[in-house]
Structure 1
Amino acid sequence: MPFTIHHIPVCPFSQRIEILLALKGVSGGIDFSVVDITKPRDPRLLELSKGSTALPVMEVPGKTALKERRVLLEFVEARFPAPPIARPDPYEHALENLIVQRESGFGVAGYTFVMNQDPEKLDTFKDRMLNEYRALNDILSDYAPGETFFFDRFGWAECVFTPFFQRFWFLDYYEGFELPDESDFQRVQRWRDACVEHPAAQQVTYDQIVKLYYDYAQGAGNGALVPGRTHSSFVFEPDWPSRPMPPADKYGHTATDAELGLV
């Protein structure tokens, strides 16, 4: 029985593992099972996760299932050791962890931004997001030996941040967010651009993120329904490629199921 990771659609944390496996050349080493978050959790999944609805969770043959995003990533790095993606040298690994430890605050800033429903708070959320990028820029400028990536290649820090960079395409689309062309952001802009274009990180697309995360932009996350709607943007059918692009004006108009191609 292989390892199996159960995750929500376009889960950034399971994509990290997909990227890691691709870099190691063992993409078939783990099975990925997408969970329909618009329906109640399967009792078997709840048993695996000890009653929590949080995903992802990994089935490990003959052992207790594992969860927590960084725990899973570190397990996969150790389980498939060649080639190492995290730096083997303790000092270099500490350096890359200087930026990795920023990932939680960075993720929260982006997701709370897109879920904001008050246009009067736009500047507050924009400033918070810019501060997160500025902090990454400072770490890259002060500690990263590489010119583009943190080191000389796409590695551990890139596995952690690339899925967030791609999820935050929803900020570009729904919030009109972009990094200023200023020195405070030049290093992180170069890093972000290289990360999202890397061949090992092409599991998701811009259109896919924008379409599936429409309900987040309306303040409804994790499969919850937007008031007045009967279908979540995370439904499996109709699948996202057949749907039109949602309206970008999240504050001026709430799209119907029909406008979103859900019925």
Structure 2
Amino acid sequence: MHKPIVHHIPVCPFCQRLEILLALKGQPNAVEFRVVDITRPRDPGLLARTRGTTALPVMELPDGRVLKESLVILDYLDETVPGPVQRRPDPFEHAVEQMLIAKEGPLVTAGYRLVMNQDRGQRQPLLDALLGAFAQIDDVLLAHSPEGDFLFGAFGLAEAVFTPIFMRFWFLEYYEGFELPAGPNYDRVRRWRQACLAHPAAQQTSREQVIKMYYDYALGAGNGALLPGRQRSSFVFEPHWRTRPWPPAEKYGPSASDAALGLV
């Protein structure tokens, strides 16, 4: 029996949430993951199947039908792959789950805008926007799960959505010196984040990998784009990220060369 095919980038947070879901279901091999190199032109055949869009992940079903958007694919896999269903069975709890998941978009936008910012003068308003997004998540958690670590007693669908984002925000700690402040607006979301990061189903990537591969994001170049004076993206697969030196944490000064980054 043919498996669905998921075209993905290993270090992409939106792809990792699918891997987390399959780990929670005990079915890590339920789909075939095919790696896409975003530093090269996209395969014309894949572009034809996705109707010209390049965002990943994309899932092809055995009969040729295609699904896009990670949250859509996540729901489909949760319903169709054998194993414990991760969405809450109770309608109200599932609604709460969806209310929390709705906060993911603003958090992602705020975090990526901050890491990609190149203007020191804009740093504070961007930081304020990120803190505001965290505070809104904290508010939902306090309203519906003030005492526990997770939203509903155990790591579930909402945690699978947010954990890869919390992991990518290691680049904010490294390149922006970002830390969640202490205090009532952030204490609950901090506890949730810590529990999510430690969960055994969510260990597909590491802090070192994120920081090394997202160096170009910290200089304002995303999705494999090349910076001036550079010939290779920090997202290349070779040399392997483990063999590269740690990049400079100072993002507002001169950028490192390909050689300094261990890319050649």
TM-score by length of 2: 0.97
In the TM superposition, what is the alpha-carbon distance from 1:8 to its structure 2 partner? 2.4
Question: Do residues 157 (structure 1) and 158 (structure 2) align?
Answer: yes
Instruction: Give the corresponding residue for 1:228.
Output: 229
Query: Partners of 1:226 and 1:10 in 2: how far apart?
Result: 20
> Are 2:146 and 2:188, in contact at CA under 8 Å, matched by a contact in 1?
no
Instruction: Give the corresponding residue for 1:188.
Output: 189
Query: Partners of 2:94 and 2:235 in 1: how far apart?
Result: 37
Amino acid across the alignment from 1:107: V
Query: Partners of 2:227 and 2:8 in 1: how far apart?
Result: 22
Amino acid across the alignment from 1:62: D
Question: Do residues 206 (structure 1) and 207 (structure 2) align?
Answer: yes
In the TM superposition, what is the alpha-carbon distance from 1:89 to its structure 2 partner? 1.0
Q: Map 1:14-93 to 2 at 5 A.
A: 14-93=15-94
Count of residue pairs the alignment pairs up: 263
Question: Do residues 104 (structure 1) and 80 (structure 2) align?
Answer: no
> Are 2:155 and 2:196, in contact at CA under 8 Å, matched by a contact in 1?
yes
In the TM superposition, what is the alpha-carbon distance from 1:190 to its structure 2 partner? 0.2
Uncovered stretches (5+) of structure 1, i.e. residues with no partner: none
> Are 1:48 and 1:57, in contact at CA under 8 Å, matched by a contact in 2?
no
Instruction: Give the corresponding residue for 2:96.
Output: 95
Amino acid across the alignment from 1:12: P
In the TM superposition, what is the alpha-carbon distance from 1:9 to its structure 2 partner? 3.7
Query: Partners of 1:255 and 1:227 in 2: how far apart?
Result: 11
| Secondary structure of the corresponding residue to residue 221 of structure 2 | coil
Question: Do residues 148 (structure 1) and 154 (structure 2) align?
Answer: no
| Secondary structure of the corresponding residue to residue 27 of structure 1 | coil
RMSD: 1.0
Amino acid across the alignment from 2:187: Q
| Secondary structure of the corresponding residue to residue 34 of structure 2 | strand
| Secondary structure of the corresponding residue to residue 132 of structure 1 | helix
The 4+ residue runs of structure 1 with deviation greater than 4 A are none
| Secondary structure of the corresponding residue to residue 78 of structure 1 | helix
> Are 1:9 and 1:36, in contact at CA under 8 Å, matched by a contact in 2?
no
In the TM superposition, what is the alpha-carbon distance from 1:114 to its structure 2 partner? 0.6
In the TM superposition, what is the alpha-carbon distance from 1:253 to its structure 2 partner? 2.5
Deviation per CA, 1:74-112: give whole Å up to 9, x if none. Answer: 100011253111111111101111110111111111111
Amino acid across the alignment from 2:248: P
In the TM superposition, what is the alpha-carbon distance from 1:195 to its structure 2 partner? 0.2
In the TM superposition, what is the alpha-carbon distance from 1:63 to its structure 2 partner? 3.3
In the TM superposition, what is the alpha-carbon distance from 1:27 to its structure 2 partner? 0.5
> Are 1:12 and 1:167, in contact at CA under 8 Å, matched by a contact in 2?
yes
In the TM superposition, what is the alpha-carbon distance from 1:59 to its structure 2 partner? 1.1
In the TM superposition, what is the alpha-carbon distance from 1:23 to its structure 2 partner? 0.5
| Secondary structure of the corresponding residue to residue 134 of structure 1 | helix
In the TM superposition, what is the alpha-carbon distance from 1:146 to its structure 2 partner? 5.6
In the TM superposition, what is the alpha-carbon distance from 1:145 to its structure 2 partner? 6.3
Query: Partners of 2:146 and 2:30 in 1: how far apart?
Result: 31
In the TM superposition, what is the alpha-carbon distance from 1:34 to its structure 2 partner? 1.4
Instruction: Give the corresponding residue for 1:240.
Output: 241
| Secondary structure of the corresponding residue to residue 184 of structure 1 | coil
Instruction: Give the corresponding residue for 2:217.
Output: 216
Uncovered stretches (5+) of structure 2, i.e. residues with no partner: none
Instruction: Give the corresponding residue for 2:260.
Output: 259
> Are 2:244 and 2:261, in contact at CA under 8 Å, matched by a contact in 1?
yes
Change (3 A) 1:2 1:81: closer
Query: Partners of 2:123 and 2:82 in 1: how far apart?
Result: 44
| Secondary structure of the corresponding residue to residue 237 of structure 2 | coil
Query: Partners of 2:70 and 2:136 in 1: how far apart?
Result: 22
Amino acid across the alignment from 2:109: V
Instruction: Give the corresponding residue for 1:135.
Output: 136
Which moved further from structure 2: 184-193 or 1-10? 1-10
In the TM superposition, what is the alpha-carbon distance from 1:182 to its structure 2 partner? 1.1
Which moved further from structure 2: 101-110 or 81-90? 81-90
Deviation per CA, 1:182-227: give whole Å up to 9, x if none. Answer: 1110000000001011000000000000000000001000000011
